[in-house]
Chain A
Amino acid sequence: MEALNLALLGVVLALLSAGFALFSSHYSVLTRWLVIPLLGLSGLLVAVAGMQLLLSGGAVFTAELPFGLPWLAWHVRLDMLSGFFLLLIGVVCVAVAFYAPGYLREFEHGRGSMAVLGGFTGLFVAGMQLVVLADDAFLFMVAWELMSLSSYFLVTFQHENAANRRAGFLYLMMAEIGALCILLGYGVLAGNGHGFAFDAMRSAQVGGLWATVAFALAFLGFGMKAGLLPVHAWLPEAHPVAPSHISALMSGVMLKVAVYGFIRFSFDLLGGIQWSWGVAVLLVGSISALMGVLYALMQHDLKRLLAYHSVENIGIIFIGLGLSMVFEGAGHHLLAALGLVAALYHTINHALFKSLLFLGAGAVLHSSHQRDMEHMGGLLRLMPWTGLFFLVGCISIAALPPFNGFVSEWLTFQTALQAWSLENGVLRSLIPVAAAILALTGALAAACFVKVYGVSFLGQARSKQARKAREVDMGMRLGQGFLALLCLLLGVLPTTMIHLIDAIPRQLLHTGLDKAMAHGWLWLTPLGGQTASYSAGLVLLGLLAAWWLAALILRRGGVRQVRRCDAWDCGFSPLNARMQYTATAFSQPIRRVFGMLFAIDESVKHDESGQLRHSLQVGDRLWGWLYAPVIRSVLQAGRVAGRLQTGHLRNYLGWTLGTLVVLLWLIS
């Protein structure tokens, strides 16, 4: 019970933070000393609550709040799944609370109101925490809308820019369509369970077609919020334009809340998982992962690139979930548990490294006022700490050992490799294809982050602003360092984390990974030592030992110092910054290989002064195929409906009379 009270206290603190923020326009010190610390404290409390619950290994706490409708009080419930997500929300909030005071300093005298920013941030965080705690559809939807609407105001915080307003509008539209789908999905469950409380839905038996309908609605609704293809269009527009710490919260946490919603809906409330749903999830996840990383490779706006990588990583999470559902539907409960653990592990990993990368991008933006990588370069020497932490984030997201991204991909591969145990031949060959796509995605992500780090942090500065960049203040470094440390720890001590996560499949699927730690904490053996084992600690130790050995051999070699000189570059004339490879040039080979997947508009023209100009636009094909027709038909319908509006009062009265007559006829 203590844990639930702690979590609710966390929600209250986040709301308080929003309340105090209202005064921060007049007293700007409030933001730094009260609003943000309260937010951090709220994060700390919910993280502690989540951790307590995960450590308890299977407890469930419920309570009824004295709010809501007269016949429907708000129910809250804290179980393993919500505990895990509370931990995730809390940890990122704490990092953001370290980071935000330094980052917001330049906003204090800007045009945007600090009251708006602080107030909606508090509401946003409180909304996310409440979604995870909600135990009835009513509170869930209220919290969900609180989260969506407050984040809309954060996206449009810098609304002077028309592009930001457009991004915000797109976000709001898609968030509301998604919410509608979720609401209808809950409607199906509530109709069958005769109640809005999750308990009633859980006990209801939803049969055949209705179950599939409910699942499809939930998949569409939550997938829209999570940014799965093809309903991802809002994500790369909305995430980059928010202030960077908000981008970190949105990409790192809000997308995870959507993942939470999906798991809660399909694994817990709906139950009776069919393998065909798993196939759908697996397909959509694979396509999202691949297309997300390919589009990310084409970007040179750092924050936009990171936003596309969120699509990729959400895809990877859904690959894990899809595998889990396929195996669950086919009756392999142990493998289903493994898939779920892999997906959840990737969920927390993505929360950590994506927040870290967004905070790093924010630090670069803060200090060089550049979002475009083509104007960066050489930042590592000017911002060594940010550069180091960003490198950790890059290695983690590129799924390289011994960092955390690798562990979850390894687990996903291990799940996929068990495809042989399925009866159905089509499934058996489908799953390896998904694994192949995952492998391609991982390799492309590594290419993408070589590009990001190489172009922005290495080489020479490409602009005056980048030359003047300075290291950010202590708080901002602390926020990033904290997340970077967690990335390393989760990479090196996977068994500790899996020990915590393992309680979730135990509660949802009634099966756990019993053998995962059968050989001690050093060994990760998800299906027993015979099948596969990975000891991240030993790999790290081996790498360090090999490094030490190399240094030892070299010491015996004689000359130890290095001499600084000009770059050789095959003896050509001295280097300058414009001779470096740009981000666009770096990804050119991949753009050419996968050319058919992009809408590429490339041209070389003479401009007015007779100089040659090269222009390149890489667009999203889905926009033309899916979104533009929908927008066109809505406008068309609007025009048709507009004919009713003649502007004469008598016509309107006539329409009203006609409607009344039709209604009377219908009733009688």
Chain B
Amino acid sequence: MADFLSLSGWLIVLLQGILFLLGAPLLAGWIRFVKARLQNRRGARIIQPLQDLYKLFGKEALVAHTASLVFRAAPYVVFASALVAVSLVPLLATNLPSAMAADMIVLVGLLALGRFFLALAGMDVGSSFGGMGSSREMMVSALAEPAMLMAVFTLAMSAHSTNLSSVVDFNLANGLILRPSFLFALLGLMLVAVAETGRIPVDNPATHLELTMIHEAMILEYSGRHLALMEWAAQLKLMLYGVLIVNLFFPWGIATGDTAGALLMGLLAVTVKLLLLGVVVAVMETVLAKMRLFRVPQYLNLAFLLTLLGLFSHIILETGT
């Protein structure tokens, strides 16, 4: 708590924010690239999503006659909540001053705030697709959020803190070997991440078949800069889950001090880890087919049970009486 006013700490938060903003589209581009290669296509360049965003920013935004203010405010709320959420996550270094302002439960809450407005925006124009997307998104998230919180609780109970930086520190100090609870939590969190970021097998980010869309259906009416913000927020969320998985469960390499060398090392480590995770996602998206919508609850129940098992095994096996 004490070093909340440290200047170097806030500089790292700022640096991380910029890295997140630029890195998120690149991560999305990387996954697309690897996926294309796995499917024997040449694929677009990795920086394509960044270029798309840049192009969209210069375009005129169209708003339907039936849309209200919520429709125009939603991209900003969604983007702002995603940006605040990523600023809490230890990307390069632990001991972030921003992590004190909000812990893991607030992180889940911020993601929920973004989703709330995203779903409202989907319903605002009054098209059937928008409503369908919102309805499905809220169903998926209602089942995914408890699983996410259970995974968070497992970590928090082990570290006796809900502060993200403290949890990473704790994992760094204790190592991860022989902890069944973490294995369960990791598996559950990965399943949740797939569902929450709208990847295959839950949702297909590349789909243009109307009846199967979830996330794309909600942002169907957006264009120009509004669309850019929505896309950017979605990419931020993807990277956020990626960083959570790699840095919470495999924290090696992350900087604990604020020297330039340690930060560079942290950057290198997290880049390698994220690239590897991207390959895993791409392979999964290549070999799996999208699920039927009503298979998704079973999938999320599995995630929930895994995280609950993780919590139980922590309570029963690891705390000791």
Given contacts A440-B142, A531-B160, A550-B79, contact A429 B84 (CB under 8 A): no
Cβ-closest chain B residue relative to A414: B162
Which residues of chain B are near A525, meaning CB under 8 Å? 1
B70 close to chain A: CB less than 8 A: yes
B172 interface residue, CB < 8 Å from A?
Answer: no
State whether B106 touches A539 (Cβ < 8 A): yes
Shortest CB-to-CB span from B134 to chain A, Å, is 6
In the assembled complex, 14 residue pairs joining A and B whose CB atoms fall closer than 8 Å, in A order, are A378-B126, A432-B153, A436-B149, A443-B143, A454-B134, A455-B123, A542-B101, A550-B83, A562-B61, A567-B64, A570-B129, A580-B128, A586-B131, A586-B138
What's the minimum C-beta distance from A407 to chain B, rounded to whole angstroms? 10
B186 at the A/B interface (Cβ < 8 Å)?
no
Question: A563 touching B119 by the CB < 8 A rule?
Answer: no
In the complex, what distance in Å separates the CA atom of A140 from the CA atom of B103? 43
**0 or 1 for each of B113-154: is its CB under 8 Å from A? (1 = yes):** 101100110111111111110111011011111100110010
Contacts of B125 in A (CB 8 A): 459, 567, 569, 575
A529 closest partner in B (C-beta): B1
Interface hits, B67-92 → A, CB 8 Å: 67-70, 72, 75-77, 79-81, 83-84, 87
Contacts of A535 in B (CB 8 A): 100-102
Pairwise interchain contact B146-A436, C-beta atoms closer than 8 A: yes
Q: How many A-B contacts at CB < 8 Å in the complex?
A: 294
- The answer to whether B116 touches A458 (Cβ under 8 A) is no
A525 to B4, CA, bound (A): 14
Whether B311 sits at the interface, judged by CB under 8 Å, is yes
Q: Which stretch of B23-31, B218-226, B239-247 is in the interface?
A: B218-226
Q: Given A440-B146, A454-B134, A593-B143, check contact A563 B80 (CB 8 Å).
A: no
A542 contact set on B, CB distance < 8 A: 80, 84, 87, 98, 101
Q: Are A581 and B221 in contact (CB under 8 A)?
A: no
Known contacts A429-B316, A459-B66, A563-B60; is-contact A580 B127 (Cβ 8 Å) = yes
Chain B interface: which of A258-266, A398-406, A596-604?
A: A398-406
Whole-angstrom CA separation of A401 from B103 in the bound complex: 12
Docked CA distance A52–B75 (Å): 44
Is A173 close to B, CB under 8 A?
A: no
- Does A551 have its Cβ within 8 Å of any Cβ on chain B? yes
- In the complex, what residues of A have CB within 8 A of residue B75's CB? 550
Chain B neighbourhood of A568, CB < 8 A: 62, 64, 220-221
In contact, A534 and B103 (Cβ under 8 angstroms): yes
- Determine how close the nearest CB of chain A comes to the CB of B57; give it in whole angstroms: 4
Cβ-defined contact, A425 with B162, below 8 A: no
Q: Please measure, in the bound complex, the distance between the C-alpha atom of A538 and the C-alpha atom of B63, giving whole angstroms.
A: 32
Contacts of A440 in B (CB 8 A): 142-143, 145-146
B236: min CB distance to chain A, Å: 11
In the assembled complex, the CB of A154 is this many whole angstroms from the nearest CB of chain B, namely: 34
Chain B's closest residue to A398 (CB) is B116
Q: A538 contacts B58, CB within 8 Å?
A: no
Chain A residue at smallest Cβ distance from B104:
A532
Does B61 contact A581, Cβ atoms closer than 8 Å?
Answer: no
- Contact check, B76 vs A551: say whether CB atoms are below 8 A apart: yes
Residues of chain A with a CB closer than 8 A to B106's CB: 401, 406, 410, 534, 539
Q: Contact: B150 with A453, CB < 8 Å?
A: no
A381-B68, A446-B142, A586-B135 as given contacts; A547 in contact with B80, CB under 8 Å? yes
Which candidate, A64-72, A308-316, A553-561, A641-649, is the interface stretch facing chain B? A553-561
Quick one: closest A residue to B99, CB to CB?
A533
B263 at the interface (CB under 8 A from A): no
Q: With an 8 A cutoff between CB atoms, is B109 at the interface?
A: yes
Q: Residue on A with the closest CB to B115?
A: A446
Within 8 A of A (CB), among B184-208: none
Q: A380-B69, A593-B297 are in contact. Are A564 and B102 (CB under 8 A)?
A: no
Query: Of B84, B160, B163, B321, which one neighbours A543 at CB under 8 angstroms?
Result: B84
Choose one: A429, A523, A557, A587; the contact of B312 (CB below 8 Å).
Answer: A429
Q: Is the CB of B109 within 8 A of A400?
A: yes
How big is the A interface, by class? Answer: 35 or more
Interface-side segment among A81-89, A330-338, A346-354, A415-423: A415-423
Q: How far is the CB of A591 from chain B (nearest CB, A)?
A: 10
User: Pick the contact of A447 from B79, B142, B146, B150 — CB < 8 Å?
Assistant: B142
B229 within 8 A of A: yes
Given the interface pairs A401-B113, A547-B76, the reply to whether A443 lies near B59 with Cβ below 8 Å is no
Taking a contact as CB atoms under 8 Å apart, the answer to whether B62 and A563 are in contact is yes
- A573 to B130 alpha-carbon distance, docked (Å): 15
Residues on B with C-beta less than 8 A from A566 are 64-65
Further contacts, 18 of them, CB under 8 A, given A429-B315, A553-B57, A580-B128 = A381-B68, A400-B113, A401-B110, A401-B113, A435-B149, A440-B142, A443-B145, A444-B142, A454-B124, A532-B105, A551-B76, A563-B63, A564-B64, A566-B64, A568-B62, A569-B221, A581-B131, A589-B294
B174 within 8 A of A: no
In the complex, the answer to whether A380 meets B127 with C-beta atoms within 8 Å is: no
Within the complex, the shortest CB–CB distance from B101 to chain A, in Å, comes to 4
Complex formed: what's the CA distance from A407 to B67 in Å?
32
Q: Is the CB of B161 within 8 A of A531?
A: yes
Given contacts A534-B102, A585-B131, contact A577 B126 (CB under 8 A): yes
Indicate if the CB atoms of A420 and B315 lie closer than 8 Å: yes
Q: Are A533 and B100 in contact (CB under 8 A)?
A: yes
Cβ–Cβ < 8 Å partners of B293 in chain A? 589
Nearest CB of chain B from residue A403's CB, rounded to whole Å: 9
For B128, the chain A residues whose CB sits under 8 A away are: 569, 579-581
Q: Does A588 contact B (CB under 8 A)?
A: yes
Chain B window 26-66, contacts with chain A (Cβ cutoff 8 Å), 1 for yes, 0 for no: 00000000000000000000000000000001111111111
Given known contacts A453-B120, A534-B103, A563 and B61 CB-to-CB distance under 8 angstroms = yes
Please tell me if A318 contacts chain B, counting CB pairs below 8 Å. Answer: no
A240 to chain B minimum Cβ distance, whole angstroms, is 24
Please tell me if the beta carbons of A558 and B135 are within 8 angstroms of each other in the complex. no
Q: Which residues of the other chain, B, contact A444 by a CB distance below 8 angstroms?
A: 142
Judging by beta carbons under 8 Å apart, are A459 and B76 in contact? no
How many angstroms between the C-alpha atoms of A550 and B153 in the bound complex?
A: 32
Q: Given the complex of chains A and B, what is the CA–CA distance between A436 and B102 in angstroms?
A: 20
Chain B CB within 8 A of A63 CB: no
Given contacts A440-B142, A523-B1, A593-B139, contact A460 B66 (CB under 8 A): yes
Chain A residues contacting B138 (CB-CB under 8 Å) are 446-447, 450-451, 586, 590
Per-position 1/0 for A430-456, Cβ under 8 A of B: 001101100110111011011101110
Q: A454-B134, A559-B224 are in contact. Are A400 and B126 (CB under 8 A)?
A: no
CA distance A523 to B2 in the complex (A): 12
Residue A474, interface by CB 8 Å: no
Contact A565 B84 (CB under 8 A): no
Question: In the complex, what distance in Å separates the CA atom of A534 from the CA atom of B105?
Answer: 9
B171 CB within 8 Å of chain A: no
CB of A26 closer than 8 Å to a CB of B:
no
Query: Given the interface contacts A539-B102, A550-B229, A580-B131, does A458 sit within 8 Å of B80 by beta carbon?
Result: no
Q: Which residues of A contact B60 (CB under 8 A)?
A: 559, 561-563
With a CB–CB cut-off of 8 A, which chain A residues contact B297? 593
| A417 to B120 CA separation, bound complex (whole angstroms) | 32
